[in-house]
Amino acid sequence: MRRHRNVKIVATLGPASSTHQMIRALFDAGADVFRLNMSHGSHDDHRARYDAIRAVEAETGRPIAILADLQGPKLRVGQFTAGAHELEEGDRFRFDLDPASGDSRRVQLPHPEIFAALVPGSDLLVNDGKIRLRVEECGPDFANCVVTVAGTISDRKGVNVPDVVLPLAALSDKDRADLEFACQLGVDWLALSFVQRAADVEEARSLARGRAAILSKIEKPAAVDAFDDILAVSDGIMVARGDLGVELPVYSVPPIQKRLVRKCRSAAKPVIVATQMLESMIESPMPTRAEVSDVANAIYEGTDAVMLSAESAAGAYPVEAVRTMDSVARSVEADSNYRAIIEASRQNKLHTVADAIVTAAREIAETTDIAAICAFSQSGRTASLVARERPRVPIIALTHVESVLRRMCLTWGTHCVITPQLSRFKEAVVNATRAAREFNFADESRQIVVIAGVPFNVPGSTNILRIAPCDERLIFASDPE
């Protein structure tokens, strides 16, 4: 089984998609990565979904990546005597640490870290930004505000603070427990919420201890400002546009998305464009034209993956949503304008031998009759470098490390294949030709490009390129050693 597209599809599992039968249907429809949302469901729920995914993987013989998405700290107001109150524009309203039930003039905000960071002029957003308040006066245990956008405030609604960096760790106690559970379970990627600074990512990495790759969710203005530092210490990025659209003007999100995707590609790190991509398909079997354009634009930008959230987790049409994304991806990638856009945005990165090798592989593949680029990788980095080039021919990513095999499923264009542990380059060439033929990338009459590092099994040693026939007899005849 092989996908006839390069962009990957991430599908979130939930109440609508937890059975083995449904997970298999989502995989068959085109899902490459499954997301476990740790904000919802128990550990037992996630364990059952994990086991079902691995069962589908065993049935199909194809690797599947699993991403555990940590909730992050949740900032919420307290409770009200009447349950809810209407706030009108111009009203004065106070947030404080008093646990007494709130009313139309005040409510508890049980987060002293917020008060420590606020300054007069800061904005507080309540209920996904539906209510906006401007801070006029504040102290270590209160903030007196004026309502600038009216609305209904009610029990336990979420609070966003877009203007300041909060002195809060990205990992709550719940996140730490969820992270350890997910790593013991065997997930391939950890998505880290509430990232504000590179130190947040480094803390998660120290806890993961190499058991899973770290993907940073960019959902706060502070993360956008510190993006270069965050990207440098992350294995991948998720552009979480829903939260960005709450804390930033919505019209600023598209250019931010384009900029972040471009930087991720330049760094050869996978990036997911996420949230509200086909949201109408939660209730409808057909998406809107605007949603289809949104997915298509992300693919034209060169994203590695597009993601479904509630559409596949709780919607009425999860399989149809995956099929829609698959169809959009195929249509975009078949468009001649797609190739022109992708190649125009390619950046020359020739700082290392590995950079030169993958650039040469792409140029050879595109100027001669090459069926595929076969990249051997101990860590997954070589395959990511090849994917950064966005070649016109397929990428076959080969490794003997099962965890690396699954992680590479998130990377653009990679068809991931497990191999025995190799010790000689000729063994690599033979395994590459067998994979190219087994998965119908080439027949005996075609050639492939093989890149690897010698000595083998040393991460970061990519230093050799060979053009090889897909006929093993020719391989041994031309290289008896």
Contacts within 8 Å (CB) and 24+ apart, 473-476 = 475/426, 475/429, 475/430, 475/433
Residue type for position 67 = L
Helical ranges in 61-89 per DSSP H: none
Residues 6+ apart with CB under 8 A from 259: none
- CB count within 10 Å of CB 121 equals 10
Residues 126, 153 contacting (CB under 8 angstroms): yes
Q: Closest Cα partner for 61 from 1, 117, 147?
A: 1
The helix (H) or strand (E) run that includes residue 126 is strand 123-126
Residue in 3, 35, 269, 406 annotated catalytic:
35
Q: Answer yes or no: 275 catalytic.
A: yes
Q: How far is residue 279's CA from residue 293's CA, in Å, rounded to a whole number?
A: 13
Copy the structure tokens of residue 7.
Answer: 């962009």
Q: How far is residue 272's CA from residue 192's CA, in Å, rounded to a whole number?
A: 13
Q: How far is residue 77's CA from residue 155's CA, in Å, rounded to a whole number?
A: 7
The helix (H) or strand (E) run that includes residue 125 is strand 123-126
Q: How far is residue 414's CA from residue 408's CA, in Å, rounded to a whole number?
A: 7
**Strand, helix or coil for residue 144:** strand
Q: Answer yes or no: 35 catalytic.
A: yes
Q: How far is residue 431's CA from residue 429's CA, in Å, rounded to a whole number?
A: 5
Residues 412, 304 contacting (CB under 8 angstroms): yes
Copy the structure tokens of residue 287.
Answer: 């998406």
Residue in 54, 76, 176, 434 annotated catalytic:
76
Q: Answer yes or no: 74 catalytic.
A: no
Residues 6+ apart with CB under 8 A from 360: 465
Q: Answer yes or no: 352 catalytic.
A: no
Q: How far is residue 244's CA from residue 226's CA, in Å, rounded to a whole number?
A: 14
Residue in 3, 205, 217, 406 annotated catalytic:
217
Q: How far is residue 213's CA from residue 192's CA, in Å, rounded to a whole number?
A: 11
Residue in 12, 106, 157, 275 annotated catalytic:
275
Q: Closest Cα partner for 68 from 238, 262, 288?
A: 238
Which residues does the annotation mark as catalytic? Answer: 35, 76, 217, 275
